[in-house]
Amino acid sequence: MTPPVSAEERLVQTPLDWPPIGREQKPWTRWWWFGSVVDAENLQLELERLAEAGLGGIELTCLYGAKGYEEQYVDYLSPQWIEMLNLTSDLAEQLDLGIDLPPSSGWIYGDSWVTPDQTVVRAKLETQSLQEGQSWQVDLSPRRVAAIMAYSTDGQVLELDHSHIKDNVLHWQAPEGEWTAYLLSMEPTTRRHKAIAPGGEGLRIDPLSKDAVDDYLTGFAARAAGIRSETVRAYYHDSFEYPIDSSPDLLDEFRRRRGYDLRHHLPALFGRADEDLSLRNDSVARVRSDYRETVAEMLHDNFVVQLTNWAHKQGSQSRNQAHGSPGNLIDLYAAADIPETELYGQLDQPGPPMHPFTDVMCVKMASSAGHVAGRNLIAAESFTWLNNHFHTSLEEMKRATDRFLVGGANHLFFHGTAYSPEEVAWPGWLYFATTQINPRNTIWRDLPTLNRYIARCQSILQSGKPNNDVLLYWPIYDLWQVGHDIWWQDYTSYFLRRRYELPDLPLLDANWGAVGYMQLPLHSKHLWLDPKPVGRVADRLWKRGYGFDFISDRLLGTSTASGGDICSPGARYQVIVVPAARVMPLKTLQQLLSLAHNGATVAFVGHLPEDVPGLHNVELRLARLRQLRGDLKWGPSELAGVREATVGDGRVLVGQDVESLLRAAGVRRETVVDRGVQFIRRRHEDGHHYFLTHAQSDPVDNWVTPAVQFATAVLLDPMTGTTGFAKTRQNAAGERQFRLQLEPGQSMIVRTFRQPLKGPNWRYLEPTGDPVEIPGTWSVDFLTGGPVLPKAFTTTSLDSWTRLGGPKAERFAGTARYSISFDAPKAGKAYLLNLGRVGDSAQMTLNGQLLATQISHPFQIRIDHLRTRGNRLEIEVTNVAANRIRDLDIREVPWKELHGYGILNMGAQVNKAGLKTRSLDASVWPVREAGLLGPVTLRLLD
């Protein structure tokens, strides 16, 4: 196996060099095997195409099968399947492709060796009110009993033990008083894991159970023992989608971790505190916080950490998507070797309530965990839902890529690529939740340009170290304890009934939400992050140009103070900001004050914490927290509105405005964001790297004052690979600046150095005069695509080929060449060629020389050698495949040929009504514009 490129090898050789590009710098793709119907010839063809397109590896996921191929299914983990995987490994090695693998088929862990007592369970509660002398008799034989308790209205608590059970029947007579009896059982779910491959059928594992997870991974390793050594770089786990709110081990784990017996507080857990008068007024919130914390710790310790340790024993790494989990997402991301995020939804469109486009904060949850914990690779499941099927262009993919990159991701996985034999008619086998990044889709022709762009960006963003200035504390206990049950139950009902197709049952009747179970899916971020103080502060920091990472209580405990900075295992920070946290563990406040004592700056927005989480010894812990608060001696700072307390060698700040606090802490912001440019910054040995992307509508041509000291700046264009030394100057305030030009949609790498350096200058665009449209007649010839090639035509006015080329062009998907001969509009040494509107990507050739392949705005290029007369311009334009798919459904041609979650079953995120539907009908789609729409212009450059 070719070793990955090391950090040392990634160091640039000269100021203008790009780092070397290896497997991990290139994008990877999720590669679906349907029914594992694969063969040697097609495997080689597919893998060669992936490598030629510039991909660096695959994540192999096995799913349900294709219709009509049932006799050819290869059972998952069978000897034949192992043989095909080993063949894939050999071929991938020859092509320098890496392989990741989930230890399951589908996207939830489970298989045939998972026993009923190891599968996911939900807490089921049955209650009975009894007066003195009344009896309660229950047959326990069909139940997996976890606890039988009784609570009186005067505060008594009884555990109904085995002395009340005979022949598996409970017999209990209520003593004096009024009582409510609780029977808590663990009800297994009977549904099997999702999108299972043939041979992988079985129950889903209980991810909270250490023994269940251990037995599952051991069982997988035994059945996969024939896999060639060093085949799997990382074992992968997808987003958390287990319908679970409990575990048979929960009560014992709770007592060990929280220090008291949850059995004595079931009324509080189930939101019925009025049935136990021994409880505090806030007991429901405190018990539920303890329950949520226990579930979070069980998932962290028993699942993610255990997966990581197991992967290491296999000679591999772990890769995990934490979102959707009932835990602290930052801890769950950090527990994997490669944390992974995802984004989905329509770009810049809110969409239906369940699927707004998830934004950069979703990425920052994973990247923050990686930065703080010292994980170099931050993976991202990319392009899952960007648009309707076959409508997504390379430009949309580039825009989504930029969101990942500025959010801190640096290891993109396309979602994804379906294996399809050559014999299968176009468009081949397909998966429903994907951008269809496969060799049969028309966008494949120009995909290598996007892949080179991503590889260059990732080569920079995987080098050096993170360099954010601010650590932003995520007060998870404010979610777990402070007044969120009502909205969370409403959302839980809505989300889980849609996702898991649960019946319409009351929430507080032994079903979802009854115990305050709290998952954190990305598409509900507008509930659990955005409107909270931490979400508002994060949004302010982002928009105002302060680089930051989230940090959890657990990871805060691994941090130290040195030289005035906060030092985590992976990065250094100038300040830690606590955003109006009301509830905070005593240990966390003690750690914050310890960091300050050792020289760090800790800034509290609004106020210091007022409460501690949980029920055990609450009064003692609360008294200690108040003592720590009272020990701080406050005085004014140099900035109005900010108070300061000296603590040892450091200080604690408090104020209402986060920017005032950061100014008091000496943190500078990146003012480039004021021009609509987003950024992420990393440091290298001699300076810093910036990735800048411009998503606004107006061009940028400004002098930029970075927040870091520098003497020299180099510009590197990741789309073209062009590099050069930037113009620099010193402004009136004595600050060093560099000149930056960015068109809307364009991105740039800026490499700064602390020492003065010289070299070839960056070629800025200096237009003179107005753009001049190229006159004449365009010849349009259709080159490749289908269903048939339309006839060539000519035109003096550019427009969509669907309007100019007749009915065959209306349903065509593929590539057409636009050709024209022209004279230079006026004498000059250089020109700016602009294609105007393009549907959807273009390769440009001038006088027989390939100029560039362009996949996104700006569709323009500098031309230095234009002839005075007789120039020949050829532009090969490729459109997306939507019009051809539309034609298939209009003509009722069968093409949705998969079982399970195929494209037929959940085919369109956005269909005729703009809603996610259970069936894709492309015949209702409007015709999409295609081709060179122009105007194509030349503009003289100085």
- Phi then psi for 442, rounded to 5 degrees? -60, -30
**C-alpha distances out from residue 414 to 30, 331, 411, 878, Å:** 6, 25, 10, 20
Query: What is the average per-residue pLDDT within 636-664?
Result: 95
Q: Is beta strand 548-551 parallel, antiparallel or unpaired with respect to 470-473?
A: parallel
Interval 563-586 mean pLDDT: 97
Instruction: Quickly list DSSP for 119-186.
Output: B-EEEEEEEEEEETT-EEEEE-TT--EEEEEEEETTS-EEE--GGGEETTEEEEE--SSEEEEEEEEE
Name the residue among 97, 103, 85 with its Cα closest to residue 228.
Answer: 85
**Angle 64-70-74 (CA atoms, 0-180°, nearest 5)?**
70
> Alpha helices of 53-105 — where are they, by DSSP H?
79-94
Q: Which helix or strand (DSSP H or E) is residue 603 part of? A: strand 601-605
C-alpha to C-alpha distance for 802 and 808, rounded to whole angstroms: 8
Quick one: which of 742, 840, 858 has its CA closest to 447?
A: 840
**Is 513 a residue whose pLDDT tops 80?**
no
Query: What backbone torsions phi and psi does residue 923 show, to the nearest 5 degrees?
Result: -65, -20
Number of C-beta neighbours around residue 895 at 10 A: 17
| Cβ partners under 8 Å of residue 727, min gap 6 | 738, 739, 761, 762, 764
Terminal CA-CA length for the chain: 51
CA distances from 744 to 465, 675, 676, 857 (A): 28, 11, 9, 7
φ/ψ region of 388 (left if φ > 0, alpha if ψ in -120 to 50, else beta) reads beta
Beta strands in 789-870 (DSSP E): 793-795, 813-822, 830-834, 837-839, 841-846, 849-854, 860-863
Q: Which residues contact 728 (CB under 8 A, 6 or more apart)?
A: 711, 712, 713, 736, 737, 738, 739
d(CA 495, CA 517): 13
8 Å CB contact between 180 and 275: yes
Strands 712-716 and 723-725: antiparallel
The three-class DSSP label of residue 722 is coil
Average pLDDT over residues 262-271: 92
Residue type, 182: Y
For 138-171, write each residue's pLDDT tens digit.
999 989 999 999 999 988 999 999 899 999 999 9
- How far apart CA 298 and CA 326 sit, in angstroms, is 10
Q: Which of these, 743, 751, 684, 683, lies nearest to 719 by C-alpha position?
A: 743
Rg (the chain; Cα; Å): 30
State both tokens at 103. 């230890």
Structure tokens at 293: 């914390």
Q: What contacts 891, CB < 8 A, 6 or more positions away?
A: none
CB 679 within 8 A of CB 672: yes
pLDDT of residue 11: 44
DSSP 181-225: EEEEEEEE--PBPTTPPTT---EEB-TT-HHHHHHHHHHHHHHTT
**Beta pairing, strands 575-579 & 601-605:** parallel
- Residue whose tokens read 């150095």: 753
Calpha distance 781→534 (Å, rounded): 56
Would you call the peptide bond into 636 cis, given omega within 30 degrees of 0 as the criterion?
Answer: no
How far is the C-alpha of 279 from the C-alpha of 268, rounded, in Å? 8
Q: What pLDDT, on a 0 to 100 scale, did the predictor assign at position 194?
A: 64
User: What DSSP assignment string belongs to 326-394?
Assistant: SS-HHHHHHTSSEEEEE--S-TT---STT-PPP-HHHHHHHHHHHHHHT-S--EEEE-SSSSSTTT--H
Give the chain's mean pLDDT: 91
Across the range 190-214, mean pLDDT stands at 88
CA distance 273 to 574: 45
Q: Does 414 score more than 90 pLDDT?
A: yes
CB 325, CB 108: distance < 8 Å: no
- Confidence band of 905 (pLDDT split at 50, 70, 90): very low
- Residue that has been written with the tokens 């995909």 in this structure: 447
Confidence of residue 466 (pLDDT cuts 50, 70, 90): very high
Q: Determine what percent of the chain is predicted with pLDDT higher than 90.
A: 82
Tokens of 350: 């809110």
Which run of H or of E encompasses 290? helix 283-298
Quote the strand ranges of 4-120, DSSP E.
28-34, 57-63, 98-101, 110-111
**Which tens digit of pLDDT belongs to each residue from 819-864?**
999 999 988 889 999 999 999 999 999 999 999 999 999 999 999 9
688-704 pLDDT, tens per residue? 999 999 988 899 999 99
Query: What is the mean predicted confidence (pLDDT) over 450-462?
Result: 98
Specify the amino acid at residue 708: V
Q: Which residues contact 88 (CB under 8 A, 6 or more apart)?
A: 38, 43, 47, 60, 99
Highest mean pLDDT (candidates 37-51, 113-127, 192-206, 819-833): 37-51
pLDDT exceeds cutoff 90 at 311: yes
443 with 398: CB under 8 angstroms? no
SS3 at position 445: helix
295 and 249 in contact (C-beta within 8 Å)? no
pLDDT of residue 557 exceeding 90, the answer is: yes
DSSP H helices, 603-676, are 618-631, 658-664
Residue 121 has pLDDT above 80, yes or no: yes
pTM: 0.94
pLDDT of residue 243: 84
Distance (Å) of CA 4 to CA 1, 7, 20, 98: 9, 9, 11, 9
DSSP 767: B
Q: What angle do CA 334, 335, 341 make, to 5 degrees?
A: 50
What digits encode the pLDDT tens for the residues 703-736?
999 999 999 999 999 999 999 999 999 999 999 9
Ranges of beta strands (E only) in 631-686 are 634-636, 642-647, 650-655, 677-684
